[in-house]
A = this chain, B = another copy of it.
Amino acid sequence: MEEIKIFAPASVANVSCGFDVLGFCLDPVGDEMIIRKTASKGVKISKIEGQDLPYDVNKNVAGVAALALLNAHPCDHGFEIEIYKKIKAGSGIGSSAASAAGAVFGINALLGQPYTPHELIAFAMEGESAASGSPHADNVAPVLLGGITLVRSIHPLEVIQLSSPSELNAVILHPKIELKTIHAREILKKEVSMEKAIQQWGNLGAFIAALYTEDFELMSRSLNDVIVEPMRSLLIPEFDSLKKSAIEAGALGFGISGSGPSVFALTKGDQIAKSVANALKKTISPSGLNYDIHRSPINHQGIKVLSNQ
């Protein structure tokens, strides 16, 4: 195989009760990437469409991730990467994770799969780290593994693929305001009260139990974030009214996607997802804000190969 064309999906991290540990993979929203072997060694970003991103491999998350993999697995040729960006940078649905995960997925395929998807997470994280200032696996993991994932530990890195009920659907609303991950992190406190931490891990534990038992009502009661949402939601216009309208339209839960500004709702089934999407549109329209809205079942596959040769 000399060349591979892939679909690198968007993803939602944190998922209310799972700050820094939970993430799930989306379906119709994502970038396309072509990764191609080159005779010369090293990594080159040869094309970027749809977004103004650096071509310098040491500054581009796809480049950083690719170099991390090749550093661990040297080879006598190189790779060039074309990126057709559809996920907007800074939207909070894992734009950098898609690029980082896509790059290592593509190179791994062209190298004959020396690494498992689990092993690729560490390389993709290095790209993520370049984007956000700290290493995170909660977006790259669901992109590489598919479904819903839990980062048990960063040092050592361990990610678990959780059970993911087939009826789960997501609605993503991206209000087009700029909100950098690094700023959204700055608003967080370094300490949390023990009382709230206990509430959070009670909810996270219950949410995970509910995924395995397919208890949608329990999922709904568990999708609470008492730690991060109260602070970060202040940065997102109309957050409270959007949340109210999503829940009234039947969403199981509603929260901030990653570090925002995108927000997500989870629903049981695609019909409720449609109603929730309509309700969110109605609620945000009067504000005059530009926005994108997407509906998606949970993507259980993760990155998809579109073609190869």
Contacts and interface: CB of A to CB of B under 8 A. Distances in A.
A160 interface: yes
Interface string A203-214: 111101100110
A262 interface: no
22 contacts: A19-B198, A20-B198, A21-B198, A21-B201, A150-B209, A152-B221, A152-B222, A153-B202, A153-B203, A163-B212, A190-B195, A191-B192, A191-B193, A192-B192, A192-B197, A197-B200, A197-B201, A201-B204, A204-B204, A205-B205, A208-B208, A208-B209
Interface residues of A, number: 39
A150 to B, nearest CB: 5
Contacts of A208: 205, 208-209
A212 B150 CA distance: 14
Given A20-B198, A212-B163, A152 B193 contact: no
A187 to B, nearest CB: 12
Contacts of A191: 191-194
Interface string A148-162: 001111000010101
Contacts of A150: 202, 205-206, 209
B152 A202 contact: yes
Contacts of A199: 153
A188 B20 CA distance: 24
A18 interface: yes
A143 B21 CA distance: 31
B192 A194 contact: yes
A309 to B, nearest CB: 38
Contacts of A152: 202-203, 205-206, 218, 221-222
Contacts of A218: 152, 160
A117 B208 CA distance: 23
Contact of A209 (B160, B197, B200, B201): B160
